[in-house]
């Protein structure tokens, strides 16, 4: 049975009032203010929009958009939206499918023939549903030793994807979130439409929905009016700039406001973009694996309930930006949050707002706490066993050498950027990097000497690093 989030098509959507760029207060506003009380004129913060039954019941800004120029966050402040952008990329592909210009069940390589042979096994639909097995390009650049502020370009992504000799898994057999997937969707839009994703989105999504403050940014150096800079806190209590340095769209790349996000969200109740209700329904259908298992992920939309209430949602995170857009369709409630602090937790803020607005309808809280594996596992290596792992390891798939050293009786990894470099033994020939949550699985030859290791992570697996002489 296909999981579907039912959406009433009643025409409850109303036009935005002329004052929609100013703060709007409602009966819940004092309680909502408390959620954001940590943000003030000395901190970055968040813009918030709460829409219920087609009316904005709260709209406001907390904290500062620009700490250097003392510019406060307002409802019309423009933020980098992170992976919330993927909804618009997915809609672009759905519209092209509706137009008959692409077929979601055709292989990706039909539209991007420069990709390696593995793209013949992946359909566009699997790419949209994160069941493609594509390795995440952020992870590939991480394993390639690139720093966090490395300017990633679209040609650089195509190049590193072309170097890959395999996938994380056989397409359709698993769900694994991949930024490479939606990047490739943007490239398909380029190839079929004949212009970049921003041009398509402006014509088919942003202009029809009057989203005047939204755009896809193909060059991170371009100016954005009323932009909130991203920030990361540092020791001492002040902040460092942390803006996007991506020249990439698809995985993210959209700048927008909470007001524009509400305009977009309202289209899910009365689709004005083409394809009618059936296109909206298809975006909100869970993918189904080859095994028949549902993934609870549609087209750039997570389909997981909250405290017994249906919810369609997605988060975003990049550099100093954090975002969420959460819709509770049965209650016709939507919460849009755009934040410019790397420490912000917009998803938690959004559910706290839902707790307030839906207090009489939501079920009990889930008190089940997830436990992280203990980094001080009991598995211990002797000094000689530790030394057997020491050496240089090279992978041509990411064109990088990773070095394992023994320092102060601890194994450490070199050649990738990060503050946490410790490796912990968790089983025979199995080391774990807890800081970035990935494993190194070692292979030995018939003489017992290590020949290579394979990386295993949620978003990039199967990459082999061979030990160098």
Locate the domains of the chain by residue range.
29-133+168-357, 383-467
What is the predicted pLDDT for the residue at 235? 82
What is the predicted pLDDT for the residue at 17? 54
The helix, strand and coil proportions of the chain, stated in percent and rounded to the nearest 5, come to 25, 25, 50
Express each pLDDT in 421-454 by its tens digit.
999 999 999 999 999 999 999 999 999 999 999 9
**CA end-to-end distance (rounded Å), the chain:** 54
CB crowding 370-389: b at 16 or more within 10 Å, else e: eeeeeeeeeeebeeeebeeb
Q: Where are the alpha helices (DSSP H) in 114-273?
A: 124-128, 137-143, 154-162, 179-193, 197-201, 258-266
Q: What is the pLDDT along the chain (469 residues), one digit of tens a residue?
A: 334 444 433 333 345 555 456 899 999 999 999 999 999 999 999 999 999 999 999 999 999 999 999 999 999 999 999 999 999 999 999 999 999 999 999 999 999 999 999 999 999 999 999 999 999 999 999 999 998 778 999 999 999 999 999 999 999 999 999 999 999 999 999 999 999 999 999 999 999 999 999 999 998 989 999 999 999 999 888 999 999 999 999 999 999 999 999 999 999 999 999 999 999 999 999 999 999 999 999 999 999 999 999 999 999 999 999 999 999 999 999 999 999 999 999 999 999 999 999 999 998 887 664 555 544 556 899 999 999 999 999 999 999 999 999 999 999 999 998 767 999 999 999 999 999 999 999 999 999 999 999 999 999 999 999 999 9
CB 90 within 8 A of CB 302: no
What is the predicted pLDDT for the residue at 13? 39
Query: Coil, strand or helix: which one is 5?
Result: coil
Q: CATH classification of 29-133+168-357 is 3.40.710.10, yes or no?
A: yes
Query: What is the Cα 459 distance to its own chain's centre?
Result: 12
Crossing angle, helix 154-162 and helix 179-193, to 10 degrees? 110
In CATH, the number for domain 383-467 is 2.40.128.50
What is the predicted pLDDT for the residue at 14? 44
What is the predicted pLDDT for the residue at 459? 96
The owner of tokens 């070199």 is: 414
> Which uninterrupted H or E stretch holds 35?
helix 29-35
Structure tokens at 269: 């109740």
pTM of this structure: 0.91
CB atoms within 10 A of CB 445: 10
CB atoms within 10 A of CB 58: 23
Whose CA is closest to 410, among 386, 392, 428, 391? 386
What is the predicted pLDDT for the residue at 85? 98
Express each pLDDT in 311-343 by its tens digit.
999 999 999 999 999 999 999 999 999 999 999
What is the predicted pLDDT for the residue at 206? 98
Query: What is the Cα 252 distance to its own chain's centre?
Result: 7
């Amino acid at each position: 049975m296909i999981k579907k989030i039912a959406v009433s098509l009643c025409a409850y959507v109303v036009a935005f009032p002329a004052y929609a760029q100013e703060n709007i207060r409602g009966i819940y506003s004092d309680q909502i203010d408390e959620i954001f009380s940590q943000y003030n004129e000395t901190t970055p913060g968040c813009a918030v929009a709460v829409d219920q039954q087609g009316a904005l019941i709260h709209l406001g800004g907390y904290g500062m958009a620009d700490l250097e120029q003392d510019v406060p966050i307002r409802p019309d402040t423009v933020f980098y939206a992170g992976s919330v952008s993927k909804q618009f990329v997915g809609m672009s592909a759905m519209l092209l499918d509706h137009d008959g210009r692409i077929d979601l069940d055709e292989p990706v390589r039909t539209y991007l023939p420069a990709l390696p042979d593995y793209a013949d096994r992946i359909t566009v639909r699997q790419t949209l549903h994160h069941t493609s097995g594509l390795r995440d390009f952020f992870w590939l650049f991480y394993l390639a030793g690139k720093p966090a502020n490395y300017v990633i370009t679209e040609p650089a992504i195509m190049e590193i994807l072309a170097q890959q000799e395999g996938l994380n898994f056989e397409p359709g057999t698993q769900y694994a979130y991949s930024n490479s997937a939606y990047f490739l969707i943007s490239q398909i839009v380029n190839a079929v439409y004949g212009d970049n994703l921003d041009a398509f989105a402006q014509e088919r999504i942003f202009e029809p929905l009057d989203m005047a403050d939204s755009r896809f940014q193909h060059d991170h150096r371009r100016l954005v009016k009323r932009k909130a800079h991203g920030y990361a806190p540092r020791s001492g209590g002040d902040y460092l700039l942390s803006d996007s340095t991506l020249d990439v769209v698809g995985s993210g790349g959209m700048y927008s406001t909470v007001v524009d996000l509400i305009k977009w969200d309202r289209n899910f109740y009365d689709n004005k973009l083409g394809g009618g209700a059936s296109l909206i329904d298809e975006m909100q259908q869970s993918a189904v694996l080859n095994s028949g298992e549902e993934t609870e992920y549609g087209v750039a939309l997570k389909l997981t309930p909250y405290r017994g209430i249906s919810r369609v949602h997605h988060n975003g995170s990049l550099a100093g930006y954090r975002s969420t857009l959460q819709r509770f369709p049965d209650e016709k409630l939507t919460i849009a949050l755009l934040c410019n602090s790397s420490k912000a937790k917009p998803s938690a803020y959004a559910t706290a707002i839902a707790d307030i607005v839906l207090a009489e309808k939501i079920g009990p809280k889930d008190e089940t706490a997830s436990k992280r594996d203990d980094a001080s596992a009991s598995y211990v290596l002797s000094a000689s066993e530790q030394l057997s792992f020491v050496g240089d390891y090279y992978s041509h798939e990411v064109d990088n050498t990773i070095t394992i050293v023994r320092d102060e009786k601890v194994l450490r990894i070199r050649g990738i950027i990060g503050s946490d470099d410790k490796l912990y033994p968790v089983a025979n020939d199995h080391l774990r990097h807890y800081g970035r949550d990935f494993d190194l699985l070692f292979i030995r030859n018939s003489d017992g000497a290590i020949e290579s290791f394979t990386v295993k992570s949620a978003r990039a697996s199967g990459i082999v690093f061979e030990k160098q002489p």
